[in-house]
Each structure stands twice: as C-alpha cells, then as structure tokens.
Amino acid sequence: MIRFIFIRTIRAILTALTVVTTTFVVLRVTGDPVQSLLPVETTPPEIIELYRRMWNLDQPLWQQYVGYWQGIFHGTMGRSFVDGRDVVGIIAERIPITLELMGWTFVAMLAIGLPAGIAAALNRGSWIDRLVMAAAVAGHALPGYVMGILMIWLFAVELRWLPSSGYGTPQHLIMPVITLATAYGAVIARFTRAAVLEVLGQPHVLAARSQGWAGHTIMRREVLPNAAIPLVTIIGLFLGGLIGGSVIVEWIFAWPGIGRLLVTSVAGRDLAIVQALVLLFSATMIFANLMVDLAYAFLNPAIRVRG
Amino acid sequence: MHFSIRQSASAVRQSSPVLVAACVWLGLMVFVAVFAPWIAPYGYAEQDLLLRLQPPSFAGGPPGHWLGTDHLGRDVFSRAIYSIRISMAVAFFGALIGAVVGTSLGALAAHRRGLVEEIVMGLVDVQAALPFLIFALLVIAFFGNDLFLFVLVVGFQGWERYARLARGLVLDAKTRGYAAAARSMGLPLWRVYFVHIGPNIAGAMAVQFTLNLPETIILEAGLSFLGLGIQPPLTSLGLMLNDSRNYILLHWWLPAVPGALIFITALSMSLIGDGLRDWLDRSQR
C-alpha cells in the first residue's frame, strides 16, 4: 500500500514537473512577448527595456526558469500583459464564481445521472432502460454550445422565464448548470447502469436474494456500495470534462469565471494569464487523479498489489 | 480480423434502422463535403446587403434563399454546405493525424520497452492530465492561429488513447505465436509490424477512430464557436453558430441550421462507432 502511494505520488509530481517545464519552454520559444505586445518601431527602447525587466526577460534562461518556479511557490505569477494587474489576483477573484457553477453542476449531474442509471439497470430492457440509454447517447453527441443556445432560445427568448446570460441571481445559474449537467449526467447514467448491472450478476447478490432479503436491503447493503467503486474512478475524468465544458458554458452565458477569462486571454494573447490558468487547471487535474487513484486503492484492495 | 464486404453487408442487414439512418446521414455529409462547390447555389462569403436576415423560403422569405440569409445577407444554405465541407475535412484529417501519431508512438513504446516506453507513457499521462480543450487553447494562445496549425492541434485530440490502445495491442500481439514465427523466419521488422501485426490490430484502431471522429467535430466547432478556430471569411459550423448568437431573438433559423447539423452529424458518428465496436466485440468472441 505504501509502495503504491509512493509510486503514484512520484508519477503525479513528474507529470506536474513536465507540465510546468513545458509551459515555460513553450512560452520562451514563441518569441519575445514584449515584441508581440508593443509596436517595435515606434516604442522607445527604454520602454521595451522596462517591460523586459518587469517580466525578468533580461535574465539568462536558467535564472528565468528558477524564478518561474519561485514565482509558483510564492504565488507571484507576474502581471497581466494587457492591464498590468497581478495575475494571481485576477484569477483568485474569479475562482469562487467558477466553483459556484461547478459545484451546482456536480450536484445536478449526480442528481440526474445516478437515479436514471439505477432505474435503467433495475428495469433492464424496459422502456425506462431504452429511454435512459437513448438520452445518454444523445447527450454525449450534444455539445454544450448547441445545448446552451437551444436553452437560451427556449427559456430566454420564447418563454421569457430566465435571463439569457450574466451573473448575480439564482436565476442566472439555472441555464448554465442545466447545460453542463445534462451532458455529464448522461454519461454518469451510462456508467451507473453498467456498474449496477455488473454487481447485480455477482454471486453475493444472488446469495442475498436466495436468502430472501428484501429488495431495498440488497440494494443498500450489497449492490450500491459495490457499484460505487468504478464510479469513483471516473470522477477524475469528469473533472477534466467539467473544466473544458465550463469554458464553453461560461462563454455562452457570459458567466464571469476563469473559463471566460481563459477565452478572452487567449483571444487577447495575454500569455501571463493563459500560462497561470493552464498551470492551475493541470494542478487541479493531477491532484484529482492522484486522489482518485488512492481512493480506488482503498476501496479495491486487488489494485494495490499491481502498483 | 478482416473486414470483408460480405460480412459488412450482413452486419448492415442485422443492424437497427437507427444505425442505417446514421450511415445514410454520414454518407450524405461526406457527399456534400466532397461536392460542396457544385451543390451550393452561392459562395460562402457572397454578400447581398439588401437581403439581410431574411427568413427561410418556407417561412415567408425570398424564393432564392430557401434557408434564409444571415446578418451580412449571405445565403445560409450555401454557408451550411461549405461549413460541412470544412468541418468534415478538419475532423477527418485531424482524426487521421491523431490516429497515426498515437498508434506509432504506442507501437514504438511496445516495441522498444524500457526508457522509450516510460517517456511515451509519461507523455500520455501529461496529456491525460490536461483537458484537451485547454491544451488546444494554450497552443493557439502561444502560436497564434492559422488553418494548418489549427488542424494539427485539433488532430492531436485523443492521440493518447490511440497510444495506450496500440501499446496494449502490440504487447499482446508480441506474445502470440504468429508474430514470433514471422520474426523467427527472419522477416524484416517493418514486415512483421505492417503485414502481420498491423492487420490484427486494425479493427480495434478503426473503432477508436470512429469513436474519436465526433469528438473531433465537436472540438473543432467548439473552438470556432469561441472565435479561436476557423477564422472568417472561411466558414465552419461552429463559426456560423457563434455568428448567430446575437440574432437568436428574432431569427431562429440562424442558430438552428448549424446547431442541428453539428448534433445530427456527431450523433450519427457516435452511433456508428458504438455499432462498430459492438460488432467487433461479437465477431471476436
């Protein structure tokens, strides 16, 4: 067990090292950011020099690399190329806004996906099963931007129930959350169905049934705890999907979180913000994947031996 | 594992009407993509500023534009045709890049083992740690946006899954008798891989390819929707959808056409991918 945790942690650290080094290298090989920012011909050399010093571009490469790491640990990631504000500050004030969206989405997608998947598995082959599976396939092929536009057209334009975009009231949350949650709720339903069906066929469930246990007792004590194990492993997968999905959804609904910040920063080539966001997303994903691996090892002893 | 025409034909006969409809739709899309310039009545950038935001013919619009016109008076039908061409081309060539790169790296890892394998699988881990949309945005932010680079970036989507799959399959194939036999007969390495191992893993790779296609379409349209993919005056389904956002209030057909095309095409592709996978699973048993 300790060996397993050790190996996994080392792998996660190596992955993080690679990501940080890659963003550093990529940022430097794409040329002098100052030149893409300022008109070279008309800017006085002192100003260019000043900007260089501001982002430590006048130092040798290895010093920049060391400084880059120091910045990450001190929480100073430089200043925005566009408005000169502190990058960490800009991102920090938007993180709670995105977390609000993601948190509700997470709750909503479990609330949609788990009951649908369990119902489909228990009524295998019935119309419930077919409906859930058809919805799962369709949900997978319906991208967030199509779903989002459809929601805006239906609920904001035709029915006039909800504001089409923006942030502030609970009404503003509804459409973004539903847009994100249907896509992943569909996938969760599919996984839950498969996991429950798998457990239902196991000997211990058949034994419990042959001993005359009540159906809901079997579900609560035998089926659901065992079906939960494979579901834990895909949560890491979902986090990645949620991060990508929230970028699109925040863009459609003008939700002022970090996803929208990423899109505007990419469009404006504000590389200081882009690299900080990429590091943030990667760190979150690496940490989540590590936690999932460890949780899975606790839940399923057989995996520990393999390392 | 060979795909013979007789087997494919019987697979089609056994399959559901939904799957047949998906195949027909995809065939239609490929046809439209190939023959777009002959099908479209107008050019994709041809403007008629006197006929802006006209509704479709069947909803009371002018007879010449049967899906209406957009905010610059461009024919929606013609733009949809050209968008299908661009989106299908980007998806197909993109998915091909990912398949070739991923499969080669995976096979290389299985062939060389040791340090090479560690490096390849390490890269796979890094790629899997980063949501691909974020990775694509990063590359576009750093290197700017041109069509060639964009196809390349979109193409890399999913390479890590091909790499994992190919590595596993090649490792498995190496333990089978036929590969060892081919090797022991002194056949050159390329023959062992391309003539003996290749055809045996081709089925699984083809399934992965069809499952990857809809994701590539959705990624391409998504980046174009964010305004960071295909750039005007060129057109794409995602770009059309993005253009339409400001006109939803009164002009429903503008988002409806590209939205429905993206959804139905991605749905058809994943249905075919699922069908192909089930069929392959059955025929291997």
CA of A225 to nearest chain B CA: how many angstroms apart? 28
**Total domains present in chain B:** 1
Instruction: Name the residue range of residue B26's domain.
Output: 17-284
For the ranges B12-26, B29-43, B178-192, B196-210, the lowest mean pLDDT is seen at: B178-192
Q: Look at residue B5 and tell me if it is in a domain.
A: no
Residues A265 and A198 in one domain: yes
Over the stretch B248-276, which tens digit does the pLDDT of each residue have?
777 777 888 888 888 898 888 888 888 88
Instruction: Name the average pLDDT for chain B.
Output: 78
**Higher confidence at residue B2 or residue A72?**
A72
Q: Which residues of chain B have a CB within 8 Å of the CB of A251?
A: 225-226
Q: How far does A17 lie from chain B, in Å, by closest CA? A: 10
In a domain, A193, yes or no: yes
CATH number of the domain enclosing A183: 1.10.3720.10
Task: List the CATH number of the domain containing B269.
Answer: 1.10.3720.10
Q: Is residue B90 included in any domain, yes or no?
A: yes
- Tell me which long-range contacts A298-305 makes (C-beta under 8 A, separation of at least 24): A299/A228, A299/A229, A299/A232, A300/A229, A303/A4, A304/A1, A304/A4
Q: Which residues in chain B have Cβ-Cβ distances shorter than 8 Å to A258?
A: none
Quick one: pLDDT at residue B207? Answer: 79
Residue B259 C-alpha, separation from nearest chain A C-alpha, in angstroms = 5
Q: Under an 8 A CB cutoff, do A243 and B238 touch? A: no
Q: What is the pLDDT of residue B174?
A: 72
Among A89-103, A152-166, B11-25, B50-64, where is mean pLDDT lowest?
B50-64
User: Both A34 and A127 in a single domain?
Assistant: no
| pLDDT given for residue A29 in this prediction | 66
pLDDT at B1: 39
Residue at A194 is within a domain: yes
Tell me if A306 is assigned to some domain: no
Last residue of a domain, one of A42, A73, A104: A73
Q: What is the pLDDT of residue B10?
A: 54
Residue-number span of the structural domain to which A173 is assigned: 88-269
Chain B CB contacts of A22 under 8 Å are 126
Q: Is residue A80 within 8 Å of residue A277, measured between CB atoms?
A: no
| pLDDT score at A54 | 67
Give the domain-ending residue among A17, A45, A73.
Answer: A73
Residue A22 lies in a domain: yes
Give the pair of three-digit tokens for residue A82: 């566009």
What is the average pLDDT across B238-245? Answer: 84
Instruction: Give this prediction's pTM.
Output: 0.82
- Whether A126 and A248 share a structural domain: yes
Q: Do A141 and B131 touch (CB under 8 A)?
A: no
List C-alpha distances in Å: A136 to A169, A183, A244: 30, 8, 19
**Yes or no, beta carbons of B134 and A271 under 8 Å apart:** no
Name the pLDDT band for B237 (thresholds 50, 70, 90). confident
CB pairs under 8 A between A and B: 126
User: Considering only CB atoms, which chain A residues are within 8 Å of B126?
Assistant: 15, 18-19, 22
Q: Is the pLDDT of residue B3 over 50?
A: no
Which of B216, B106, B96, B101 lies closest to B157 in space, CA to CA? B216
Q: Residues A26, A144: one domain?
A: no
Taking 50 as the pLDDT cut, the residues of chain A under it are 306-307
* Higher pLDDT, residue B161 or A60: B161
Please tell me the total count of domains within chain A: 2
Residue closest to A289 by CA, chosen among A1, A15, A2, A3: A15
Whether A198 and A55 map to the same domain: the answer is no
Total Cβ atoms within 10 A of residue B31: 12
How is residue A253 annotated by DSSP?
Answer: T
